[in-house]
A and B are shown apart, each in its own frame.
Chain A
């Protein structure tokens, strides 16, 4: 039996990684928390044993499957709204290569030039501000924001290729 104390230990041990995987796939803080929450809520009701040596891979696979279900159940508009990856079964599975790509992108974002490019990337992708709002804030047209964004993304593309 997976008792409460054992589950609490597993929760605290694996939460970070589970949440991280969910948020990489779903791009949403609340939904990612819910995915991890639901997995453990189910385990709390479940009376069967979760073997400790298999726990980590079981938990991470559960996260992945739940996230894939969330994505599958959305129509194309909902998918692009959350910027989900388009190729579900091949590229969406975070592999070592995907992790490397994320690392390279993270490094690339820090080095974007000129600063306005980095600013736009952070405002949009981290703070969730729309391009339209960024344009208003900077006092430029949306097309100008798109131009900076494309410039930023093309720099990021070279970082991806380098790694």
Chain B
């Protein structure tokens, strides 16, 4: 197999290859050029999609998404002002939407980092001058929006270097909303996700298992 075919094949399942294998193939000029061209092609297609898809209605909907939960949570936050950590998840099963609000009271003291679990942005007061790029900031939280459980688990598993093991055949039908803070350890993520009905995850050695 020639090297560009190998690159394309690797791109189908990037997580199967080690960082060294990636560094090696991308050190090759021809492969690197092909990769860059693909990256730019993706950008060109995304730019065109953005121009077509971003309608005024969509912008209005995004504004709603920003302001509605923001203010309602803001109220909750202050009426239970001692509660520093919370997350909201909505789980949908076969068209039935179940909302689960999980308030973690025990995490109040001394665990400021869990405040980020809240949907209220508590990033501190900053002056909106033009920001400077800082090299090593906190990982951005990833928000899963209506994503099937198996995809959520696969993505999380790969990040924590675990092998996803989907034993529950219904995992693809379960869709969830979940805000994942990458700096949290896998144990607390699993604990959070297990608060959803029908979700039963476990870390078993180097596997992250979705149990039936």
Contacts and interface: CB of A to CB of B under 8 A. Distances in A.
Interface of A: 2, 4, 8, 11-12, 15-16, 19-20, 23-25, 27, 29-31, 33-38, 40-50, 54, 57-58, 61-62, 65-66, 68-70, 72-73, 75-78, 80-81, 83-86, 101-103, 105-106, 109, 121-122, 125-126, 130-132, 142-143, 146, 149-150, 153, 156-157, 160
Q: Is the interface of B mostly helix, strand, loop or mixed?
A: helix
B47 A156 contact: no
A39 B168 CA distance: 37
A37 B17 contact: no
B35 A86 contact: yes
Contacts, number: 187
A38 B12 CA distance: 31
A27 B48 CA distance: 12
Contact of A50 (B39, B41, B128): B128
Contact of B34 (A45, A48, A77, A150): A150
Given A38-B140, A58-B129, A69-B139, 5 more contacts: A34-B140, A42-B126, A73-B182, A125-B38, A153-B38
A15 B54 contact: yes
Contact of B67 (A19, A44, A131): A44
B34 A153 contact: yes
A49 B128 CA distance: 8
Given A15-B54, A16-B54, A20-B50, A80 B11 contact: yes
B46 A86 contact: no
Most chain B CB within 10 A, of A23, A27, A34, A66, is at A23
A24 B46 contact: yes
Interface stretch (B18-26, B92-100, B186-194, B197-205): B18-26
A36 B123 CA distance: 15
A102 B34 contact: no
Contacts of B132: 65
B137 A102 contact: no
B121 A48 contact: no
Contact of B47 (A45, A76, A102, A131): A102
A80 B47 contact: no
29 contacts: A11-B62, A15-B54, A16-B59, A23-B49, A24-B47, A25-B43, A38-B121, A41-B120, A44-B66, A44-B121, A46-B125, A46-B126, A46-B128, A49-B128, A54-B130, A58-B128, A69-B140, A77-B158, A78-B14, A80-B22, A80-B35, A81-B14, A85-B36, A86-B35, A101-B40, A102-B40, A109-B45, A125-B41, A149-B8
Contacts of A130: 12
B8, B22, B26, B47 interface centre (most CB from chain A within 10 Å): B47
A25 B142 CA distance: 16
A8 B127 CA distance: 19
B130 A146 contact: no
